[in-house]
Structures are given as structure tokens and as C-alpha cells.
Structure 1
Amino acid sequence: MEFLAGGRAEVRITRADVGKRVSVRRRTGGAAGEAAFTDAVGVLTSWDEGVLSITRRTGECVRIAESSLVAAKVVPAAPARRKVPAATVRELQQVAARGWPAIETERLGEWTLRASGGFTRRANSVLPLGDPGLPLDAALERIVQWYGARGLPPVIVVATGRAGDDEELAAELDRRGWTAERHTRILISALAPLADTATDTPPGSTGDAPTRVTLSREPGAEWLALYNRTGGSGAPSTEAMTVLTGGPSVWFATVRGADGGTAAIGRLVVDGRWAGFAAIEVAPAERRQGLATLVTAALAQRALDEGASAAYLQVEADNADALALYDRLGFTDHHGYHYRRARPAGES
């Protein structure tokens, strides 16, 4: 990789370049047989107290001491892909889990037990990727005990509707009386076209899209007031805040209305090539002005700037309005999932 400028290496990045794609070389040698320098390319996600954090396209975060820098420069982002990405069910399950991380996890073979004080089913359910390492009945008994000790209902995520799903597991759970609930669709899209929709404001919308949407790393009080899982119920729990702000690179979008109130919000998590969208909500009095589209576009541009190329989101299968919006934006159906909940003890 070429760092030379005018015949010598230079560090040509500053803290003002946080959020840009950079290429850096750092000094790592010293021991016999050790490479003198190591290179890294990715998004400069922070530069605090003498340490740079660079997030690679894979989602890996590399921390680099400022004192070890030998050369660095901003590099152009890779050309945005516009085709709907190819992905397996397992890949999307893993990406979605990292983007909405549980506070407490425990492995059961290749399954992961997750708990977060009851904040959302996604962060309080078993993710079954492969073999639990035990006969199914023994694994289910362990799951019931684990969740019971935390005062939570035993719940397992079951993927459906595509090769590599959990159809066999669903049948086994059905035979054992684990009830199905909360059917959800996983939608995907190329990322670049979503950013383009910033210019497609419908009749009646006002303001300039890029300047109306404010992005931040933390959800402020205005954002939380509109978020339907915490709004109107006082300060959010520690568990809710931990899950909301967890993930490789998380952003929160807020749009202010003409009256100064919160008109719309959204959440983004960037993880390698994937950008996950969630909590796209518009205040009732501000609907039908294209604000959900503006929020999605602003977040999509942020994800493109960090090197992502594909988008995903999760929406409940009976949310017709949201499904219609995402269809207009160009999302396509990938697969579905639902939750299986153990029948309470003593219930026939």
C-alpha cells in the first residue's frame, strides 16, 4: 500500500477525519521475526485519548496507539454496489444478533442463550445456529431452567421460509407444545439506492433532507421519547440503553418538527458490509411527509461512508404500513422467523 507523498511517509489524517475511510501504517516490529509495520484499512470510528479505532469491512475493530502511527491517509470509499446482496439465513441471523446484542449470553453447543432483563424478544431468546450439543429434550430442559432463573419466559427464535432454516426444529418444538408467536420478516436491499431516496421528497414535505436529520452516537431524550418501546414510560432501563447502543458502529437519527418537537427517529448499526435499520418511527402528527424516507436515506448515506453495501431490517409480518414503506424503498423479502415459547408448567 502506498503512503509516500513527496518522497516520504506522512500522517495525513486528523481527528476531523473520524467517520471517513482511512488507510494507516503503524510500527509493530521490535522482536526477532516480527514484521516492522502493520497496515489497516477501514473506517476511523473514534480517536480519543491517543488511541484510534478503525472498523474494518468485516466488522472487526482495530485499536491503534497514536504514537505508533508511521503513515496514514484518507482513502476513497469503494464504489457502491446497487444489486440486492446474496446472503444466507445463518449470515443474517449472526449479523442481526451482533446488531442488537444481548447483555448476558451463554453457549449451549452451537446455540446461544441471550438475556437482557426482558427488553425485546430478540435480546431475550435462544439463537439456535446448529447443534445444541445435547439431545433436544435435555437442551430444552436446560433452556427452561436458565430463563426461569432470570425470571424470563423460555423463548427460541425459529427461522423459516428459506433453505437453511429451522423447519425441522419448528416441527419438534410444535410436537412438544412450544407455541408460535410474533412472526417477523427479514428484508434486504442494496444500500446505495436507499441513500438516493433523500431527493425523492413527496408533495407536502418541507426542508432539506440532509440538514433536517441529525445523527448522533447516543439516543438523546428526544429520540427516546418517540421510541415506542421506551417512550412515555419514564427513563429507559439500563438494559434497554445497553442493547440500544450496542453493536459494532451504532448511529441514531432524529428529525425535529416545525414546533421543535421530535418528528421522526431511526437507528442504524454498521457491521462490515451490512447496515441494519431499526426503530424507524414518525410522530403521528408528522406522518405522510416522507420523514421515514428521509431518515432511512440519511442513515444509508452514513453506512455507505463507513464502507457498507447491503441493508437489512426486521419487521413484524402484520405491520402492513411498514411493509408497504419498505417495499416502496426497494427492500425485498429474504426469510422469516418467529418465536417459540415454552408452555407454562402445569398448562395442558
Structure 2
Amino acid sequence: MADNKDVLARRVEEACLNGWPALKTVWLDGWLLRFSHGYTKRANSISLLWPGARQPGEQIRSAEAFYTHHGLPTIFRLSSVSSQDIGTALDEAGYGPGEDESCVLYRDLAAAPPYGEHGVAFVQPSLDDSWFEAHARLQKFSPATAAHARALFGAVAVPAGYAVSPAEDGRPAALAFGAAHDGIVCINAVATDPAFRRRGHAYNAVSALLAWARDEQGAKGACLPVVAGNDAGRSLYRSLAFSTEISRYSYRRKVA
């Protein structure tokens, strides 16, 4: 029987998949194939949720055919949550080494979530043009990428909140997005306007989402992914009590 940490890790993985969905998905013998016109690796990669009946090499070739059909590179998202190890099969199939190693951090929301000290952030219950336009500007999206990103946010099927920490002049200084599923809120898309960095705005935006998730969605925990080498991001999240690393994942892509 899985211990409590393993059960929690699987619940967090599920919350992350639902909180950052794909525009199209295919189930293939225990693997989840996700397609979103190339916008973000997470929404355009393969997650191994449980071992299938096929041999890994055969399964890899079947998955590659789907990505070729969609005009996308075949990318595997390999998580420590998965019980299936296909590293050798990927080596033999010509996949490169792991890249973009990321940590999934977790915190309990039983204690009162922290609140910012530099202003008041607020959470919108739906995606509107002002939030998305600010997000697209901070991320420097091209028109095509903005269209794909807007569609991905529109594909979220669980309760979602869109946080804004405004500057003194009313401009969005920092943004964050959260989606709540099965008692866990997954935080994504945290971004700060360079003109307002180091003023606590990202802290405020995430804090507002934690409060929204706990008070309005009944969430008991919160999770978020962060690139393992992102020292600034990890420092921010430590200050927000994300002290437990629940899992790690990295990507492997087919070498041309």
C-alpha cells in the first residue's frame, strides 16, 4: 500500500495536470499525450501515469506518430511520481538528456496563509481581457502565442482564480493564476513587471490566491512547479511556506 506521501504526490500531480491543461489530449495505454500548439512543454508533452501492456519501444513509436500528426516534437515529461522507468528505451530511441528539471513544491493551508505587506492584491474569478493582456505583455507573447495561451486558459475546467497585485498607479505589478482541484490549488503563471520587482508584488499575488483557494474553494493544500535552478523563484516560494518538495520532473525530447 502506498504511504501518505505517495498518495499526496499523486493527488498533486493530478491537480497540476488539471490546473494547466492541454487543448487536446490522447490516452495511450497509461500515457497521457497532450497537445497545445507548442505553447509550454507541460501542455505539449507525454506524462507516464501508469505502465501499459506494450513494450516501451513500441509505445514510444506509437506516441511519436501522434506528435508527428500534430506537427510537434515528441517530448516526454518524466516525473518522480511515475512508477515506470523508460530511460533506457528513450536512449535507444534517440532521445536527448533531461532538460529543464523542475521541482513541484507543496504547502499545507491549515495555517492562515501569509498576506502581503506592500499593498492589497485581489483575485478575479474569471479570465478577462485586462488580466490576459497584462500577462501577454509581461511574457512578451507574439500574437500567435497569445492566441494559443488564451485558448489554454479557456480550457481550464476546474475553479480558477486570476490574481493581480496593483502598483500605486493602478497598473498590474504582478500576476498569478491558480486552479483548485480536489482540495489542492495549483499555482501557475506568476509574473512581475520588471519596473516593480523586489517590492513584494509577486508575494502579494500568490498570497491572495492562497487565501481565495482556502476560503472560497475549501482547499487544504497548495502546490506549484518551479525550475530547480531558479533561485529567486524558490526563495520567493520559501517565504510563502512552500517548504515541501513533493516531486521532480524533467523533459526528454527526440534528437533530430
TM-score between both structures, scaled by the size of structure 1: 0.66
Deviation at 1:255, TM superposition (A): 2.3
State TM-score, norm by structure 2.
0.87
1:122 match: 42
2:37 and 2:27 map into 1 onto residues whose CA distance is: 18
Displacement after TM superposition at 1:234 (Å): 3.7
The code of the aligned residue for 1:326 comes to: Y
Corresponding letter in the other structure for 1:337: Y
Query: CA-to-partner distance for each residue in 1:129-177, whole Å, 9 max, x for gaps?
Result: 11233211111111111101111000111013xxx54572234323433
Aligned length: 249
Distance in 2 of aligned mates of 1:144 and 1:227: 31
The aligned residue for residue 78 of structure 1 is none
* 1:186 alignment counterpart: 104
Q: Counterpart of 1:243 in structure 2: which amino acid?
A: L
Match of 2:209 in 1: 299
1:139 match: secondary structure: helix
Aligned to 1:157: 77
CA deviation string 1:177-233 (max 9, x = no partner): 31221111100001244x5311x52xxx3x3x2xx4242410433443345785353
Aligned positions of 1:1-348 closer than 5 A: 87-160=7-80, 164-166=81-83, 168-179=85-96, 180-193=98-111, 196-198=113-115, 201=117, 205=118, 207=119, 209=120, 212-227=121-136, 230-234=139-143, 237-245=146-154, 246-304=156-214, 305-331=216-242, 332-344=244-256
- Rounded to whole Å, the distance in 1 between the matches of 2:162 and 2:145 is 16
How far apart are 1:89 and its partner, in Å? 3.5
Q: Higher helix proportion, which one?
A: 2
Distance verdict in 2 for CA 1:150–1:315, change over 3 Å: same
Q: Which has the higher strand share?
A: 1
For 1:334, the aligned partner's letter is I
Maintained 8 Å contact 1:224/1:231: no
Identity rate, percent: 27
**Which ranges of structure 1 fall in alignment gaps of 5 or more residues?**
1-83
- Aligned 8 A contact 1:255 1:264 in 2: yes
Q: Which runs of 5+ in 2 are unaligned?
A: none
| Counterpart residue type for residue 75 of structure 2 | V
| Cα distance in structure 2, aligned partners of 1:219 and 1:286 | 22
Letter in 2 for 1:172: A
Letter in 1 for 2:249: Y
Task: Select the structure with the greater relative contact order (CA < 8 A; seq sep ≥ 6).
Answer: 2
* Whole-Å separation in 2 of the counterparts to 1:86 and 1:217: 33
Q: One-letter code of the match for 1:170?
A: G
